[in-house]
Every structure is written in structure tokens, then in C-alpha cells.
Amino acid sequence: MKNISNISLSGKRVLIRVDFNVPLDEYFKITDDSRIQAALPTIKKVLADGGKAIIMSHLGRPKNGFEERFSLKHTVKHLSDLLATPVSFSSDCVGENTIADVENMENGDVLVLENLRFYKEEKSGDIGFAKQLANLGDVYVNDAFGTAHRAHASTAIIADYFPDNKYFGLLLSNEISSLEKALDNPERPFTAIIGGAKITGKIDVITSLFDKVDNLIIGGGMAYTFAKAMGGSIGNSLVEDEKVALAKTLITDAKEKGVQLLLPSDSVNADDFNNDADIQSSAITNVQNGFMGLDIGSESIAHFSNAILDSKTIIWNGPMGVFEMKNFANGTKKIGEAICEATKNGAFSLVGGGDSVAAVKQFGFADKVSYISTGGGAMLEYLEGKELPAVVAIQD
Ligand code: AMP
């Protein structure tokens, strides 16, 4: 993989696409800096080589032009603290002022450009905009896995202007090699755990994983559509009625492909979507009217944990229940514990997707799994077997 580790960036203007799409509070303070932390190794490498680090990113979803709450200037002080070096800011990402800001840089300097998505040309993949960005650098480095599945101006189109000088950053190349390790030649048994609210959005990944895994564990809200497909009563649980037929097909497909499909057998139910609601447990196919299933039950936890503990490769995307509420967090926590235990015993475990990553952090498992992916959507598309435009653009 063409990453920056073995090249010298000394004296070069290195244009680095990072993912600084961090959450900000009402005072524009960063509430979770993981994405900035994840980009540090690449930025530090450029500085250690004596290059000029020009940082470009998007932040949030601006509608049309500048919006204070989406300005990347809010990341500058924190980046400077983390790097222990001054960081400058350019109040635009293209145009005369930005060109001048780049011209003023010395080797070892860091400059953050303003939010790329203040220009609609970024998302539309505009060639002229990509060219203007490209003019700012001698070398292009993409380290933004979170947007690797998008063919935007700064993530893919720009690479055309650096036929001999385009590289993966250290984060992006780690992301890809971790996914390759899990998918291309996994040590078996290989278990995928898919949870979250709905089947919609995860069908493609489930179908594609059928060709790769030995066990597929399903939890979270989507499990109730499967329970309904098996003829169960699911009370007021989340259900996608239009997906019941599909759930039936998936159950048959799993059998045909020799994949063990593990569905929850029991459920923790509440009479309201509320942490303080009345709670009762039942078989997942027998949720009382007036109750909704918000977590997997103890029997399912035991069953899933056994499969996880037997596995040598594990991927996890999506929580097992409404883990944001304490009374419905147990399933997600226990499955996380089983993954950590399996990892301790030598399994390779990869966790991705905003909510599973939040859960892993909430329960303190972050350094007990093998790899935490920074990109939910990009990871899902990779697992679906799709090519990621940003990766293709560098490999071309
Ligand atoms: P997703 O973005 O599809 O991965 O879904 C994540 C969300 O699913 C989290 O916010 C969970 O609270 C929610 N979730 C998990 N299990 C359930 C459930 N049984 N009923 C409703 N929502 C759920």
C-alpha cells in the first residue's frame, strides 16, 4: 500500500485530507477529539520530515457557504495543543488569501484550511475546485477514512493531479489493512455481529457477509423483524413490516450458505421508550402487547458470547439494544466483554460504526479490541464488497 511511511516529505507542501468532522458543543468546544487524535501520526510524520502540513477537512453539513458553527477554526487551538506546535488557520480553502497563506509557510509549519463543504463543489466532485485545491500542494495524502466511500473533490477527484505524488496517510492505510486482515484471509471461525436499529441500511452488508463468515449474530432493533418473520408476537417493538419477507429469505439463505445465523431467543422489554419504564423479560417471539423489546436477554447473551469466545476473527457493527439507556445497555456491554475476552485469547477484533464505537468507549473497551474503525459508512461499504472511491483514486 502506497503510504507515507517510507518516503521523505522534506521541504514539500503536503496537502492532507483528514476527517476533522468532530462534534462541537454550543461554545464550539470539541466534545470528542478521536478523529483529530487519529490523524496525528500522519501530521507528525510530515513535520518530522520537515514538510509543510496543509490540513483540509469538512465539518458538519453546512447548507450553502460559511456557517460559524461549522468553521474549522474551532479545531485549531486543540490541534496546536496536541501537536505542541503553533497551528495557523486560513479563512478559506481556495482563492488568493489561501494561496498567500500557503506561500508564507516554512518547513515544519501547520496550516488548517476552512471547511471544504462551504463550497458545494466539494460534494459534487467539481473538477475545477479539485484543481484549485491541488495547486496548494506538491504531495497529496488522504487520511480520511470517514469519507473514503465518497467521490468528493478533496477525497478522490483531486488525486488525478498527483499521478506520482499521492499517498495513503497512516490512519487510512491502517484502516484498510485491518479490514483486509478480517475479510481477505480471516482466521476461522469468523463471526460478524450486526446490530442497531433497522435492517434497512445493513441488508447489503448482511448478504455480503454470508459469503465470508461462519457465524452471523443479529441483535438490536432489527432482531424483532426477524422474530416477526418467524411468526412471533413482538408487541410494540421496532419492526419494519416491509422487511419481514426479506428477513425470512435471509434465514433460508443462511442455511443454504452454511452460515450459522444467531438470532436472539429472549428479549428485555419495556412499556415505554424510557429508562424508567416497567421492565419484563420474555422470549423474543412472545413480547406482550403494550411492551417493546429494547435489549437482548440473558439467554441470548450466553449463546452469542459462546460463539464469540470460540471465534478467531470478529467484526462488530451496531449495538445489541438501546445502550444509551442504562437499563437496556446490558446486552451491548456483555457482548463487548465477550469480544474483549476473545481478543485477549488471540482473536482479531474490529469494531466500527458510530454507535458501536460510542458503546465500546462508554464501557471502557477501547484498548481491549484489536482495531476501532473511524468510519462507519466507509466500513460498511467495504464489508459490502464495494470499492471505496478514495482508495481507488490513490491506488490507480
Ligand atoms: P444504527 O445507527 O442502525 O446502528 O442504530 C443504532 C441505534 O439503534 C442506537 O441508537 C440504539 O439505541 C438503537 N437500538 C438498538 N436496539 C434497539 C431496539 N431494540 N429498539 C429500538 N432501538 C434500538
Read off the pLDDT of residues 217-229 as tens digits, 9 standing for 90 and up: 999 999 999 999 9
| One-character DSSP codes across 88-145 | EEES-SSSHHHHHHHHTPPTT-EEEEP-GGGSHHHHHT-HHHHHHHHTT-SEEEE--G
Do 75 and 127 lie in a common domain? yes
51 lines ligand 1 (CB under 6 A): no
Residue 233 shares a structural domain with residue 353: yes
pLDDT computed for residue 88 by the predictor: 98
Residues recognised as catalytic? 35, 198, 354, 377
Would you state the pLDDT for residue 255?
95
Q: Do 103 and 228 fall into the same domain?
A: no
What DSSP assignment string belongs to 71-87? -GGGGHHHHHHHHTS--
Task: Flag whether 32 is in a domain.
Answer: yes
Alpha-carbon Rg of the chain, whole angstroms? 23
The answer to whether residues 139 and 53 belong to one domain is: yes
Q: Is the pLDDT of residue 354 over 80?
A: no
**Which residue range(s) make up the domain with 230?**
186-364
For residue 75, tell me if it sits in a domain. Answer: yes
26 in the same domain as 86 = yes
Lowest mean pLDDT, pick from 106-115, 158-167, 366-375: 366-375
On whether both 249 and 286 belong to a single domain, the answer is yes
Q: What is the pLDDT of residue 247?
A: 95
Say if CB 143 and CB 17 are below 8 A apart: yes
Structural domains of the chain, count: 2
Per the domain annotation, does 37 fall within a domain?
A: yes
* Residue 253 exposure: Cα atoms within 13 Å on the Cβ side: 14
Q: Bridge-partner residues for 175, per DSSP? A: none
Residue 58: pLDDT over 80: yes
**Same domain as 144, residue 115:** yes
Rounded to the nearest angstrom, the distance between the alpha carbon of 276 and the centre of ligand 1 is 18
Antiparallel, parallel or unpaired: β 215-218 and 279-283: unpaired
Q: Do 278 and 341 belong together in one domain?
A: yes
What percent of the chain is modeled with pLDDT above 70?
100
C-alpha separations of 248 from 102, 216, 219, 287 in Å = 58, 15, 16, 19
Band (pLDDT 50/70/90 cuts) for residue 65 is very high
Residue 68 included in any domain: yes
Residues 272 and 322 in one domain: yes
The yes-or-no verdict on residue 174 having pLDDT over 80 is yes
Inside any domain, residue 169:
yes
Residue 254's CATH number: 3.40.50.1260
Query: Could you tell me if residue 275 is inside a domain?
Result: yes
Ligand 1 atom closest to the Cα of residue 293 is 19
Residue 376 CB less than 6 A away from ligand 1: no
Decide: 314 and 308 in contact? Cβ < 8 Å.
yes
Residues 163 and 228 grouped into a single domain: no
Confidence at residue 185, expressed as pLDDT on a 0 to 100 scale: 87
Share of the chain above pLDDT 90, in %: 91
Q: Last residue of a domain, which of 140, 175, 210?
A: 175
- For residue 221, how far is its CA from the centre of ligand 1 (angstroms)? 6
User: Residue 374's pLDDT is what?
Assistant: 84
Q: Lowest-confidence range among 21-25, 288-292, 351-355?
A: 351-355
* 164 and 64 fall within a common domain: yes
Going by C-alpha positions, the residue among 72, 78, 44 that lies closest to residue 154 is: 72
- Which residues, in sequence order, are bridge partners of residue 217? 193, 262
Is 379 domain-assigned?
no
Give tens-digit pLDDT for 281-311. 999 999 999 999 999 999 999 999 999 999 9
Cell of 279: 421492565
> What is the rounded average pLDDT for all residues in the chain?
96
Domain boundary among 175, 207, 239: 175
Is residue 98 domain-shared with residue 190, that is, in the same domain?
Answer: no
What would the pLDDT profile of 243-257 be if each residue is shown by its tens digit? 999 999 999 999 999
pLDDT of residue 387: 93
Q: Report which of residues 354 and 273 the model is more confident about.
A: 273
